[in-house]
Chain A
Amino acid sequence: MKISKVFTLLILTSMVLSPAFLAAAGPYPEKTIEFVTHSAPGGGSDIFSRHIANLMEKEKLVPVPLVVVNKSGGSGAIAVAYVAPKAGDSYTIFATSPGIYATLVKGEVKASIVDFTPICSLIEDPNVLVVRADAPYKNVKEFIAEARKKRKGLSLGLSSLGGGDHAIAIKMGEATGVEFNIVSFKQGTEAIMAILGGHVDFGLGNPGETAGQIESGQLRVLATATDRRLPQMPNIPTLKEEGIDVSYTSIRGIIGPKDMPKDVVKYWETAFQKLTQTQSWKKYIEKEKVLDAYKGSADFGKFLEKELPRLRGDLVGFGLIKKK
């Protein structure tokens, strides 16, 4: 009798200790979350992800660490190709940015938006038009007048081929009839350096990228490419106010792999929503000069459904996607 009791006990203990049993019993999440970003350490999306991971930990919104995993390369293609096959995985989340949307519609990777589950959108990166502080044009009208003087009269320091700055420049050109001379740089910081040095005339980008130079008075903001004025810079007009009907913002958010369990999606939706209500989140928004843009899974999904075909149209228009 005794032996069988010991035996039963052994079976019970091993059941409790076995990973399968634990997995069934414990509440989600039980292990480290892989938080994938497509940029190399120090890049925009990397900083975004690390900020989020750090804040989630500081505010104790998730019981396990979010470990940022850099899958950089091919304008996000490597990261997309890494996350897409993980269908059903509950422990991988992926920070999206406009670069990822472009990769998803370009067709170089064998994956599209249907291989992912939208979780939520978080922030909106506004774009602003910056020029050197000593540039002769003081407002958008003078800027356009200068650009009109000769063909391709003003040059843009482009930081992302096919990205937001590219789109705004082309749309501004279409709206006003001027054509800009587009000089493509490897990354945003190089473009900013070229603007500071007077090698190109203007840049378009997130005000967070140039905040240091704007504060110190080396760069000047002429306008924002947003629908409304930015709360962080109330004196700067929008392009629309200046008569150029162009606005372009970039939504950053979180997506998971395809077929992520519904309760897991709900879990992250709630966790991130809680994050956006904290004081430290508000501070982050203020400091980085971005806009709060939380949307839940369903709404973010709808946004992506509309956004991606529009983006594809843009890229075809710029000649960056060849129609097959």
Chain B
Amino acid sequence: MDVLQSIMLGFSIALTPTNLFYAFFGSLVGTVIGVLPGIGPLCTIAMILPTTFGMNPTSAMIMMAAVYYGAQYGGSTTSILLNIPGESASVMTTLDGYQMARQGRAGVALATAAISSFIAGTISVIGLMLLAPPLAKIALKFGPPEYFSLMLLGLTTIVFLGGRSIVKSMVSIILGLLLGIVGLDPMGGVSRFTLDQLELMDGINFIVVVMGVFGIGEVLVSAEEKMKISILKTKLSGLIPTLKDCKEATGATLRGSVIGFFIGVLPGTGATIASFLSYATEKMVSKHPEKFGKGAIEGVAGPEAANNAAVGGAMVPLFTLGIPGSGTTAVMMGAMMMWGLRPGPLLFVQHQDFIWGIIASMYIGNVMLLILNLPLVPLFASMLRVPYSILYPFILVVCITGVYSLENSMFHVFLMFLFGIVGYLVKKLDFPPAPIVLALILGPMVERAIYQSLTMSHGSLSILVTRPFSASFLVLVLIVLAIPVIRWSKERRKA
């Protein structure tokens, strides 16, 4: 069966009223939980899991997938409006999205996020449809050394994401890396800095840090300043992106889609890393990198495209290899096993209707999300008119609920408040907060990967340079490190 026939079969399944309903319902739920900080697709899908037992597996999976990609749409909303990321994958969107909102361009930022999410979502479904089997083969080539080098590239690029001072970025990164040390060590299982708290044995959950540093930190900082409201009240009229905006955002969206899709394919990396690699790329290819962090539209379009495209990518290993690419797809795989489907390479052959029905529904769901999200833009943007004295207690409640829902534990709520204080200090002292979170996510992965690589090579570092993928990432690391030096020397010559 060729692709065209398969996708026709898929649409014939996805377009039945029942499945359309589930795609819509999933998209709606996804949008809502995406908007609410802390509550992510993973725990939502886990919660709706028991309700799917009586359902047709295809319909159930269509709904779950819709929740997953729907959440990536919604996640940008609070990032842009309140500087509080709805999901970890929307941390990067705070950098420029919030600045755009402060300049009265909240509507443009929200619309850009929705449109680039739509384009990226569609591109990644096409990628999933056409490239899944060959891509899965490439993903298999990624062993621990490749992951190490890729993550190292990620860590290197973080340095240049933050604001004006590289030194301050480095301090934030080191703080994040130190936080990443907490927990059981990956090889020996020895607990490190857990202070005899069982809750710390798995390390510090980065969502707790995101909610604390961004959410609580933002509330604390704003509690001091009263007058910011007037800034945000200014013109909400500019809701529709101008032609110039579109031009600037297009390249970023396309690059973000490609980066997001490929990073999404690699198990364990996912939407968060995709979003910041995209941001870093945009900042590097841009002719005016100084605009980033001050409301550059590319800084919204790129990461938002990347985190949506990563969803389609994450489906590749799930469908072709039976290996989940992210925490959320792991739950989906669990669900498939409960419905009696065996995730694995044979799924594509034995359950064509299932696979293609879902793929087709992802096209439809993305259209639904665009239609659902665009009219919401003015509504959300007008949220900025709500006085902070009403809005901020509400944010506190949402943050507490979201973090509590992670593990149903008050410990994490207290930890979030602790990081709220960190967030306050970081903002007051003008350290960039995003690198803390990113380094916390990457640190443990880098550590495990280097351990694994060195075990594989019996202790020799040469394994990192003798494998082609790994070596090329390391070359990229060198290039990334060289760029600021080159720029700096150019500027000096000019001066």
Residues of A within 8 A of B407 (CB): 71-73, 78
The 0/1 profile, CB within 8 Å of B marked 1, for residues 188-223 of chain A is: 011011101111100000000001110110100000
Residues of B within 8 A of A71 (CB): 407-408
Closest to A185 in B: B452
Contacts known (A109-B198, A186-B186, A211-B344); A196 close to B46, Cβ less than 8 A: no
Contacts known (A73-B199, A77-B198); A197 close to B143, Cβ less than 8 A: yes
**Stretch in A47-55, A227-235, A238-246, A303-311 touching the partner:** A47-55
Closest to A47 in B: B334
Q: Does A27 sit within 8 A of B, measured CB to CB?
A: no
Residues of B within 8 A of A182 (CB): 455
Q: Does B340 sit within 8 A of A, measured CB to CB?
A: yes
Shortest CB–CB separation between residue A109 and chain B, in angstroms? 7
5 tightest Cβ-Cβ pairs between the two chains A and B:
A212-B344, A199-B143, A74-B201, A41-B46, A42-B334
A183 near B144 with CB under 8 A, answer yes
Shortest CB–CB separation between residue A120 and chain B, in angstroms? 22
B458 near A152 with CB under 8 A, answer yes
A42 near B331 with CB under 8 A, answer yes
Contacts known (A155-B455, A197-B140, A197-B142); A75 close to B201, Cβ less than 8 A: yes
Contacts known (A47-B338, A73-B201, A108-B191); A213 close to B455, Cβ less than 8 A: no
Which of A181, A193, A211, A319 lies in contact with B455, CB distance below 8 A? A181
Contact residues of A between 56 and 111, Cβ < 8 Å to B: 67-75, 77-78, 81, 108-109
Shortest CB–CB separation between residue A79 and chain B, in angstroms? 10
A41 near B50 with CB under 8 A, answer no
Residues of A within 8 A of B188 (CB): 161, 319-320
Q: Does A287 sit within 8 A of B, measured CB to CB?
A: yes
Classify chain B's interface size: 35 or more
Given A72-B407, A212-B345, 14 more contacts at CB 8 Å?
Answer: A42-B332, A42-B333, A71-B407, A74-B202, A75-B184, A108-B191, A183-B144, A184-B448, A186-B268, A196-B140, A197-B142, A198-B143, A199-B144, A213-B344
A54 near B338 with CB under 8 A, answer yes
How many inter-chain residue pairs (CB < 8 Å) link A and B? 146
Contacts known (A184-B186, A212-B343, A213-B345); A78 close to B452, Cβ less than 8 A: no
Residues of A within 8 A of B394 (CB): none
What CA separation (Å) do A189 and B338 show in the bound complex? Answer: 17
Q: Does B49 sit within 8 A of A, measured CB to CB?
A: yes
What CA separation (Å) do A200 and B333 show in the bound complex? Answer: 24
Contacts known (A155-B455, A181-B456); A193 close to B338, Cβ less than 8 A: no
Shortest CB–CB separation between residue B68 and chain A, in angstroms? 13
Residues of B within 8 A of A46 (CB): 334
Closest to A214 in B: B344
Q: Does A317 sit within 8 A of B, measured CB to CB?
A: no
Shortest CB–CB separation between residue B94 and chain A, in angstroms? 27
Residues of B within 8 A of A253 (CB): none
Q: Does A313 sit within 8 A of B, measured CB to CB?
A: no
Q: Does A301 sit within 8 A of B, measured CB to CB?
A: no
Residues of B within 8 A of A162 (CB): 189
Q: Does B233 sit within 8 A of A, measured CB to CB?
A: no
Closest to A181 in B: B455
Residues of A within 8 A of B452 (CB): 183-185
Q: Does B478 sit within 8 A of A, measured CB to CB?
A: no
Residues of A within 8 A of B388 (CB): none
Contacts known (A73-B202, A212-B322); A50 close to B140, Cβ less than 8 A: no
Residues of B within 8 A of A287 (CB): 340
Shortest CB–CB separation between residue B471 and chain A, in angstroms? 16
Contacts known (A192-B323, A211-B344); A183 close to B456, Cβ less than 8 A: yes
Contact residues of B between 2 and 37, Cβ < 8 Å to A: none
Q: Does B195 sit within 8 A of A, measured CB to CB?
A: no
A212 near B347 with CB under 8 A, answer yes
Contact residues of B between 427 and 464, Cβ < 8 Å to A: 448, 451-452, 455-456, 458
What CA separation (Å) do A81 and B200 show in the bound complex? Answer: 13
Q: Does A43 sit within 8 A of B, measured CB to CB?
A: yes
Shortest CB–CB separation between residue B301 and chain A, in angstroms? 32
B49 near A41 with CB under 8 A, answer yes
A215 near B189 with CB under 8 A, answer no
Residues of A within 8 A of B346 (CB): 212, 215-216
Q: Does B232 sit within 8 A of A, measured CB to CB?
A: no
Residues of B within 8 A of A78 (CB): 198-199, 201, 407, 409
Q: Does B236 sit within 8 A of A, measured CB to CB?
A: no
Closest to A192 in B: B323
Which of A43, A155, A184, A194 lies in contact with B451, CB distance below 8 A? A184
What CA separation (Å) do A164 and B108 show in the bound complex? Answer: 55
Residues of A within 8 A of B140 (CB): 193, 196-198
Residues of A within 8 A of B49 (CB): 41, 50
Q: Does B131 sit within 8 A of A, measured CB to CB?
A: no
What CA separation (Å) do A187 and B267 show in the bound complex? Answer: 12
Residues of A within 8 A of B193 (CB): none
Which of B142, B332, B338, B342 lies in contact with A215, CB distance below 8 A? B342
What CA separation (Å) do A194 and B456 show in the bound complex? Answer: 11
A51 near B338 with CB under 8 A, answer yes
Contact residues of B between 288 and 339, Cβ < 8 Å to A: 317, 321-324, 327, 330-335, 337-338
B189 near A189 with CB under 8 A, answer no
Shortest CB–CB separation between residue A135 and chain B, in angstroms? 15
Shortest CB–CB separation between residue B147 and chain A, in angstroms? 10
Closest to B196 in A: A108
Contacts known (A47-B337, A199-B144, A212-B344); A70 close to B198, Cβ less than 8 A: no
Shortest CB–CB separation between residue A239 and chain B, in angstroms? 24
Shortest CB–CB separation between residue A323 and chain B, in angstroms? 15
